[in-house]
Chain A
Amino acid sequence: MNRALTASLPGSADARHIRWRRLVDRGFQALALAVLLATLAALAALIADVWRDGAGRLSWDFVTSFPSRRASQAGIWHALTGSIFVLVLTAAIAVPIGVAAAIYLEEYGSRSRSARLIEINITNLAAVPSVIYGLLGLSLFVRMLALGRSVLAGAATLALLVLPIVILSTREALRAVPKSVREGSYALGATKWQTIWHQVLPVAFPGILTGLILALSRAIGETAPLITIGAVTFVTFAPDSIWSPFTVLPIQVFNWVSRPQPEFQANAAAGILVLLALLLTMNAAAIWLRDRYRRKDAA
């Protein structure tokens, strides 16, 4: 202790060195904070801009009305329900398939060469532009499987789009489960499936959920693949079955933005606010679910 103190007496070389290191430390902290604030400022500016344009149009009537040629009467109900419908169906398709595929790759097939090849390809698929998935959906679901331009075809297309994200993030979550949990289960005479179902999946669940949030957040904002498969931009009714034609919020916003009248620009801004609200609600629900699950473990 004494030695350390004398060694850093004011004015000594050591003390100067310590001061310099502290300065670098603080400098980096300030830099990181500045970068973070700049990012947040961009987001805030965007939201403020949209809010200024659209808040005036935002009302319960706007949410519950159908589209109209008159901007002041046009609403977003059809697109909102369409988005929710498509999203729920996308999750219903992508989650079981994606999680099952990840379980196979991670738990059963991870030692084989073919599994490695598949993994590389899934990573590549995650980077494929979404409009390509739209073309795939058009030829596969709309035409070959004759699903038409329906909610089901749209959801199936979006499910394909987010499947790589679901698989990769689920694999990461499974890989993060400590080996000791698996060993403890096997040592009690559990089969592989019992170990996965009772021990591995519950531990991995929060991580899997995080991946799903990411995947569905991407799906909710997609426009290109749905336009490609022919989601209509002007429907005057809410979808009532998986076979209904539909539209979604981003397409409706795109439609309004491309019109010359300023009233429709306001509608577009309001539509963006609704989309953001839906996205945030969805994410908040998922985060709440995840935290509740984590707390239950730690209780």
Chain B
Amino acid sequence: MSATPTVPPSLSEIAARRGPPPRTPGPCKIEADRLNFFYGEKRALEDISLQIRPNVVTAFIGPSGCGKSTFLRTLNRMNDIIAGTRVEGEVRIDQLNIYDPGVDVVALRRKVGMVFQKSNPFPKSIFENVAYGLRINGLTASKADLSARVEESLRQAALWDEVKDRLQDSALALSGGQQQRLCIARALAVRPDILLMDEPASALDPIATQRIEELVYDLKRRYTIVIVTHNMQQAARVSDYTAFFWLGRLVEYDRTDRIFTAPAEKLTEDYVTGRFG
């Protein structure tokens, strides 16, 4: 039980033992290239390089404070709104570096949707929550079009049948699990390519969690999904690829079955078997 290493192996040590980091075969949707991230002077991410394939679910796991959420938020530049943060290196989505000065953050975030740890529906009606992204981005031409897109999004999020008769009710009257699915519907409404999920089920009961996981499974046919979770069973259940973060470093990134059955790193094995974390 005292297997917790106190000093992380340096990246060069990891690289020397394993060779170059695994490059996933096939096309690449998101690619981080030697990404460093700073909160003020503190370096929260160190030289993260990884490639994420389209239409798969990639899970980020690791103990609290390991940088997995921070890394997720660099993928749609949500960290921009925090004062005193700084990014070095590149994140390329469809080969375009999203930290290029010419990149429009508004356009980026439409393409890369996000669902947060704590469900955060707007204090408006269910309908208006989903319609908001469509309205502000001017995505629908008519009222009928808007209603159709709202319905489509709610259906995709497996929420339509539960709310179709009370679309004008406040979103805050929904249960926690329904609120989170509403937030997913809201993100899907603007038709992103990528869906980032930051511990989307951590505040939900097991049944609501299961519904979210089923939803993630259904959605990957149409979206590239990146999910942060502190629940290893969840990562094993929903994801195709898993990245293990520790102290701001990417320790191991591989197919989920390999991470959980035959990890290359001792550190990964200790974590996924529950020896620390």
Q: Which positions in A face B, CB cutoff 8 Å?
A: 111, 178, 180-191, 194, 198-199, 202-203, 297-299
Asked if A298 and B122 make an inter-chain contact with CB atoms under 8 angstroms apart, the answer reads: no
Residues of A within 8 A of B114 (CB): 183, 187
Residues of A within 8 A of B110 (CB): 188-189
A-B pairs with lowest CB-CB distance, top 9: A189-B110, A180-B120, A188-B133, A187-B114, A189-B109, A184-B120, A297-B123, A194-B136, A190-B136
A184-B116, A184-B122 known; A190+B106 contact, CB < 8 A: yes
Q: Which residue of A lies closest to B133 (CB)?
A: A188
Asked if A189 and B133 make an inter-chain contact with CB atoms under 8 angstroms apart, the answer reads: yes
**Which residues from 96 to 142 on chain B have a C-beta closer than 8 Å to any C-beta of chain A?**
106-110, 113-114, 116, 118, 120-124, 132-133, 136-137
A-B contact pairs, 22 of them (CB 8 A): A180-B118, A183-B78, A184-B183, A185-B122, A187-B76, A187-B109, A187-B114, A187-B187, A188-B133, A188-B136, A189-B109, A189-B137, A190-B132, A190-B133, A191-B106, A297-B123, A297-B124, A297-B172, A298-B170, A299-B169, A299-B170, A299-B173
Q: Which residue of A lies closest to B115 (CB)?
A: A187
Residues of B within 8 A of A199 (CB): 122
Asked if A189 and B170 make an inter-chain contact with CB atoms under 8 angstroms apart, the answer reads: no
Residues of B within 8 A of A187 (CB): 76, 78, 109, 113-114, 116, 187
- Chain B CB count within 10 A is highest, among A111, A183, A184, A185, for A184
B30 at the interface (CB under 8 A from A): no
Report the separation of the CA atoms of residues A214 and B199 in the bound assembly, to the nearest whole angstrom: 42
Q: Which residue of B lies closest to A203 (CB)?
A: B123
Q: Which positions in B face A, CB cutoff 8 Å?
A: 76, 78, 81, 83, 106-110, 113-114, 116, 118, 120-124, 132-133, 136-137, 169-170, 172-173, 183, 186-187, 190
Asked if A189 and B190 make an inter-chain contact with CB atoms under 8 angstroms apart, the answer reads: yes
Asked if B109 and A186 make an inter-chain contact with CB atoms under 8 angstroms apart, the answer reads: yes
A182-B81, A187-B109, A188-B186 known; A198+B120 contact, CB < 8 A: no
Report the separation of the CA atoms of residues A190 and B122 in the bound assembly, to the nearest whole angstrom: 13
Residues of B within 8 A of A203 (CB): 123
A180-B116, A298-B170, A299-B170 known; A186+B81 contact, CB < 8 A: yes
A188-B113, A198-B132 known; A181+B81 contact, CB < 8 A: no
Distance (whole angstroms) from the CB of A82 to the closest CB of chain B: 40
Distance (whole angstroms) from the CB of A35 to the closest CB of chain B: 36
Residues of A within 8 A of B107 (CB): 189
Report the separation of the CA atoms of residues A190 and B136 in the bound assembly, to the nearest whole angstrom: 6
Q: Which residue of B lies closest to A188 (CB)?
A: B133
Q: Which residue of B lies closest to A199 (CB)?
A: B122
Distance (whole angstroms) from the CB of B136 to the closest CB of chain A: 5
Residues of A within 8 A of B121 (CB): 184
Report the separation of the CA atoms of residues A209 and B165 in the bound assembly, to the nearest whole angstrom: 33
Residues of B within 8 A of A178 (CB): 120
Q: Which residue of B lies closest to A182 (CB)?
A: B81
Residues of B within 8 A of A185 (CB): 122, 132
Distance (whole angstroms) from the CB of B133 to the closest CB of chain A: 4
Residues of B within 8 A of A299 (CB): 169-170, 173
Asked if B116 and A188 make an inter-chain contact with CB atoms under 8 angstroms apart, the answer reads: no
Q: Which residue of B lies closest to A111 (CB)?
A: B83
Residues of B within 8 A of A194 (CB): 136
Q: Which residue in A180, A183, A189, A298 is a CB contact (below 8 Å) of B136? A: A189
